[in-house]
Amino acid sequence: QAAADPASSSDAPEDGPKETSSVSHNISDADAFKILLEMKMKKRQKKPNLPSTVTELVAEDGSKVYVVGTAHFSDSSKKDVVKTIQEVQPDVVVVELCQYRVSMLKMDEKTLLKEAKEINLEKLQQAIKQNGVMSGLMQMLLLKVSAHITEQLGMAPGGEFREAFKEASKVPFCKFHLGDRPIPVTFKRAIAALSFWQKVKLAWGLCFLSDPISKDDVEKCKQKDLLEQMMAEMIGEFPDLHRTIVSERDIYLTYMLKQAAKQIELPRASETETRKYIPAVVVGVVGMGHVPGIEKNWNSDLNIQEIMSVPPQSASSKIFKFVTKATVFGLMGYGCYRIGQRTLQFILSMPAAQSYLQKLTEIRSPH
């Protein structure tokens, strides 16, 4: 309090700080927790003034979850996230990320912008090593969609998640959870859901995506996330793919939000004191396209075991995998052949090489 109120600290006697220090050492952890919790509760708005993109859900035990629906490439979405966290002072913040994408939380905008625009061989190798050939290629194609939006808008993805991470660190006792299903599981299930020709058609559509996108387009898509809307347009004829990429993740995100919305146990002065609990306050930051699914699944008993399993490869997947490998190795082999041919021609055209060949011819020819 003295640090927060300069006027009161300037009127304090000279030995004031020493006395305060000695008292603070006698405060138990439980008392310190209660003091900070009371400060947090005072700052928490009873009737928060929330953006229109926020949906309020209530758990059976009274815990509240504020789901912020965002567009992944939107400045206003970042502001919505910051305002919501400041207003409700949550106990937990859950974001639509998994451990495979958590690195974007601590990277600066400039680095992220550069990374998002660059789709290179190293990234392809890493994706294939991490997820397998088919899932890795699918991931790279989706990254191409994201890179296309990034190139058009000049804005790095995931800004709302980075804002959530920064704001959560400012709230006392606020935990930060990753709420999305791991990428390898999603892509492997997506690949298994498609037939051979569906995979070819989807890959073709993603490879030749080039429609221009404006910032106005992004804001118009606040009711449905831009990236997911573009994907929905491409995968609309593939209901099984929509199920694995969107609907199943709705279930997973809902499950993680419900797990985060558990009552909080208050600290006890001693082991004999009765345990006391209070409802939790949770903020979820997800793409706008997931909000209807989360609302739909909120009051259901959810089991995520089934949507976490990876089905065995189908015959069409094996054929597509073989064709893809054959194509990649064929292109690499042809490229090496062309490079080698041009290199040889270049070397032979050099004066030094021609002089050496002439001498070699003279040595080998009979006198």
Q: What is the pLDDT of residues 248-270, one digit of tens each?
A: 999 999 999 999 999 988 877 77
Q: What is the pLDDT of residues 27-74, one digit of tens each?
A: 777 778 778 888 888 888 888 999 999 999 999 999 999 999 998 777
266 secondary structure, DSSP code:
P
Q: What are the Cα distances from residue 225, in Å, to 71, 181, 220, 288, 328?
A: 5, 18, 9, 5, 33
CA triple 280-67-187, angle to 5 deg: 115
Query: What does the alpha-carbon distance between residue 106 and residue 294 come to, in Å, rounded to a whole number?
Result: 27
Query: What does the alpha-carbon distance between residue 45 and residue 281 come to, in Å, rounded to a whole number?
Result: 12
Asked if the structure places residue 34 within a domain, the reply is no
Instruction: Specify whether 331 is located in the same domain as 236.
Output: no
Mean pLDDT over 124-137 rounds to 64
Alpha helices in the chain (DSSP H): 6-10, 16-24, 29-43, 75-88, 109-117, 121-131, 133-153, 159-168, 183-192, 196-207, 215-220, 226-235, 239-242, 248-260, 291-297, 315-349, 351-364
Residue 214, C-beta contacts closer than 8 angstroms, at least 6 positions apart = 152, 153
The pLDDT of residue 273 is above 70: yes
Asked if the structure places residue 341 within a domain, the reply is yes
Tell which residue, 197, 187, 141, has the closest CA to residue 316: 197
103 secondary structure, DSSP code:
G
Instruction: Specify whether 271 is located in the same domain as 129.
Output: yes
Asked if the structure places residue 87 within a domain, the reply is yes
Q: Which of 99-103, 114-118, 350-354 has the highest mean pLDDT?
A: 99-103
Instruction: Specify whether 128 is located in the same domain as 238.
Output: yes
Query: What does the alpha-carbon distance between residue 94 and residue 180 come to, in Å, rounded to a whole number?
Result: 9
pLDDT interval class at 1 (50, 70, 90):
very low
Instruction: Specify whether 198 is located in the same domain as 158.
Output: yes
Report pTM. Answer: 0.70
Query: What does the alpha-carbon distance between residue 193 and residue 243 come to, in Å, rounded to a whole number?
Result: 9
Query: What does the alpha-carbon distance between residue 135 and residue 313 come to, in Å, rounded to a whole number?
Result: 11
Instruction: Specify whether 130 is located in the same domain as 111.
Output: yes
Residue 327, C-beta contacts closer than 8 angstroms, at least 6 positions apart = none
pLDDT at 10: 39
Mean pLDDT over 311-340 rounds to 58
Q: What percent of the chain has pLDDT over 90?
A: 31
- The answer to whether 197 and 186 have CB atoms below 8 angstroms apart is no
Instruction: Specify whether 304 is located in the same domain as 349.
Output: no
174 secondary structure, DSSP code:
-
Asked if the structure places residue 325 within a domain, the reply is yes
Amino acid letter for position 332: M
pLDDT at 286: 95
154 secondary structure, DSSP code:
T
Number of domains observed in the structure of the chain: 2
Residue 23 is encoded by which pair of tokens?
A: 């008292």
Instruction: Specify whether 104 is located in the same domain as 221.
Output: yes
Query: What does the alpha-carbon distance between residue 73 and residue 156 come to, in Å, rounded to a whole number?
Result: 7
Instruction: Specify whether 260 is located in the same domain as 155.
Output: yes
Asked if the structure places residue 202 within a domain, the reply is yes
- Residue range of the domain that includes 73: 43-312
Q: What is the pLDDT of residues 65-105, one digit of tens each?
A: 999 999 877 788 999 999 999 999 999 999 999 998 888 88
Q: Which long-range contacts (CB under 8 A, 24 or more apart) does 6-15 make?
A: none
Query: What does the alpha-carbon distance between residue 168 and residue 244 come to, in Å, rounded to a whole number?
Result: 30
Instruction: Specify whether 52 is located in the same domain as 88.
Output: yes
Asked if the structure places residue 18 within a domain, the reply is no
Instruction: Specify whether 339 is located in the same domain as 253.
Output: no
Residue 262, C-beta contacts closer than 8 angstroms, at least 6 positions apart = 61, 63, 280
CA triple 71-117-322, angle to 5 deg: 100
pLDDT at 348: 58
The pLDDT of residue 351 is above 50: yes
Asked if the structure places residue 14 within a domain, the reply is no
Asked if the structure places residue 20 within a domain, the reply is no
Instruction: Specify whether 241 is located in the same domain as 94.
Output: yes
Instruction: Specify whether 250 is located in the same domain as 149.
Output: yes
